Amino acid sequence: MADRVYIFDTTLRDGEQSPGASMNTEEKLEIARQLVRLGVDVIEAGFPISSPGDFESVRRIGAEVGDAVVVCGLSRAIAKDIEVAAEALATAKRPRIHTGIGVSESHLRDKLRITREEALERAVAAVKLARSFVDDVEFYAEDAGRAEPEFLYRMVEAAIKAGATVVNIPDTTGYAYPEVFGELIRGLMEHVEGIEDVIVSVHCHNDLGMATANALAGVRAGARQVECTINGIGERAGNTALEEVVMALKQRRDVFGVETGINTREIMRTSRLVSSITGIRVQPNKAIVGANAFAHSSGIHQDGVLKERTTYEIIDPAEVGAGASRIVLTARSGRHALRHRLEELGFELRDDEFERVYQAFLEVADKKKEVYDEDLEAIVGESERTLDETYHLQQVHVSCGEPGIPTATVELVARDGRHLIDSSHGNGPVDAVYNAISRIVQVPNDLTEFSVQSVTRGIDAIGEVTIRVRAEDGQVFTGRGAHPDIIVASAKAYTNALNRLLAAQSQKRTVEEEL
């Protein structure tokens, strides 16, 4: 059986330190319940001495989750911190105190202003005090990524001898890169006495965009706990993203040879919950949980995915609770993707019909970022309406404004191939267009109804215009037109209504002649 890597989730502690991500106790409880469903091994529920709210969150989470997970409270290497953490964790079935101190020269000299020996003494005293309250103590060597390795070895060895059960090696400032961080963990495994008796943990930050890569390098070097957050939220540029580490370990067992206890099908739900509660939006191109993680807009990619998903997807979206792959129809989409989506919508089109729809689709796609299902339905409907036309709307140009007289120039193509152009003015741009079309077609009618609605979402939505005209004999004909430009949609609708009127008149004449 493969080795086990434990997942330590610090969304409720380090993740909450993201600017604007503060959560109240009820919100933390809601996330903690979801983290249990997700299957994390440890929940770092807060920093109890930092505020009454954090204290209460740790206390209530410990009481609620029972023995499902380890509940952890953070402290500095200060007696009062540790005592308060122990008090908050009194409700937990599986409590852990997480205590530690800085180990880099920067932290010792500029923040703590103590010597190395003083730091060692504080670390040992903190671990011993924590062990007097709980059996599970995690020691963190803050800013280990910038520490002098030999001193780090001494510090970790001292913490283990004092009773630490987990030793956390944080790249607090995101300074490390994979090769160096992996060597740091490997050095600990080789040079620290007693290291084989504890769990080595890694806690990486993303200042240089390498948090996940560094954490995985740590796992390859022997670390068996990864500290991470949902969506990678956290101080500054954030923490190692839980979803990235878990899926990397799962997909590349051939490289890492380890397993986690995470129920990956709960990843997407957890991501959305944390995003909703914290108000921190997940960037669309975010790995695993971003809106575009399983979306394909390139025609080449779409063709491959439709033939065999694994040509462009190494993860089945269902594995992370993301549903199915999403084919995004854009100007870059090809015929295969369009036909596939039309068939899903129930449209069975002959090759010639499909080609007409495809050309209309390209015209719309050039004007929009994404073509939605409603757009496709409007495009197919518009294509059907252009069959057997007496007049086809070729182009329309409108000039209007205040001050000024709304004027329209329209070009229609007759069935016999003639190009007919005329201009007119009106009370508004639509009225001017209708007057110009009427001058060309010369069929008496009254416009009795005009309505317009958006059939898709967004500022670049397709608008559909529906009109009704009454002929001299009292018959009413309906016309529809769809286009991102509402003036063009109006012209299409009017032309469609007149074509219906003309077709009815032609049919009536044919019947009369036969009689």
Residue range 433-440: mean pLDDT, rounded: 95
> What pLDDT is stored for residue 476 in this prediction?
85
Q: Tell me which DSSP letter residue 462 carries.
A: P
> What pLDDT is stored for residue 349 in this prediction?
84
Q: How much of the chain exceeds pLDDT 70, in percent?
A: 97
CATH number of 3-278: 3.20.20.70
In tens, the pLDDT along 277-329 reads: 998 889 989 999 988 888 887 778 877 878 888 888 888 888 999 877 777 78
Q: How far apart are CA 269 and CA 322, in angstroms?
A: 8
Whether the predicted pLDDT of 146 surpasses 90: yes
> What pLDDT is stored for residue 459 in this prediction?
65
CATH architecture of 388-514: 2-Layer Sandwich (3.30)
Treating both helix axes as pointing N-terminal to C-terminal, what angle do 335-344 and 299-307 enclose, rounded to 10 degrees? 60
Residue range 27-50: mean pLDDT, rounded: 97
- Whether the CB-CB separation of 181 and 171 falls below 8 Å is answered with yes
Q: Per-residue b/e over 89-107, b at no fewer than 16 CB within 10 Å? A: bebbebbbbbbbbbbbeeb
In tens, the pLDDT along 49-58 reads: 999 999 999 9
> What pLDDT is stored for residue 387 in this prediction?
58
**What is the CA angle 211-32-20, rounded to 5?**
60
- Whether the CB-CB separation of 405 and 435 falls below 8 Å is answered with no
What long-range pairs does 181-184 form, CB within 8 A, spacing at least 24? 181/145, 181/214, 181/217, 181/218, 182/217, 182/218, 182/220, 182/221, 183/221, 184/144, 184/145, 184/149, 184/152, 184/221
**How many residues can be counted in the chain?**
515
CB proximity list for 95: less than 8 A, separation 6 or greater: 62, 70, 71, 72, 73, 86, 89, 134, 136
In tens, the pLDDT along 480-500 reads: 888 888 899 899 889 988 988
Q: For the domain with range 295-382, which CATH number is right: 1.10.150, 1.10.340, 1.10.238, 1.10.260?
A: 1.10.238
Q: How far apart are CA 506 and CA 515, in angstroms?
A: 14
In tens, the pLDDT along 168-223 reads: 999 999 999 999 999 999 999 999 999 999 999 999 999 999 999 999 999 999 99
pLDDT band at residue 388 using 50, 70 and 90 as cut-offs: low
pLDDT band at residue 456 using 50, 70 and 90 as cut-offs: low
Q: How far apart are CA 148 and CA 167, in angstroms?
A: 17
- Residue ranges of the chain that CATH labels 3.30.160.270: 388-514
Q: How far apart are CA 457 and CA 100, in angstroms?
A: 52
> What pLDDT is stored for residue 1 in this prediction?
42
Q: How far apart are CA 243 and CA 261, in angstroms?
A: 13
State the average pLDDT for the chain. Answer: 91
pTM of the predicted protein model: 0.75
- Tokens representing 145? 């990524």
- Whether the CB-CB separation of 411 and 405 falls below 8 Å is answered with no
- Cis before residue 403, ω within 30 degrees of 0? yes
Task: Give the DSSP H/E element, type plus range, for residue 109.
Answer: none
Q: How far apart are CA 321 and CA 273, in angstroms?
A: 13
Q: How far apart are CA 508 and CA 318, in angstroms?
A: 58
- Residue ranges of the chain that CATH labels 3.20.20.70: 3-278
Q: Which residue has the higher pLDDT, 374 or 118?
A: 118
Residue range 268-273: mean pLDDT, rounded: 93
Whether the predicted pLDDT of 428 surpasses 90: yes
Q: How far apart are CA 266 and CA 251, in angstroms?
A: 16
**What is the CA angle 482-483-489, rounded to 5?**
65
Residue range 326-348: mean pLDDT, rounded: 82
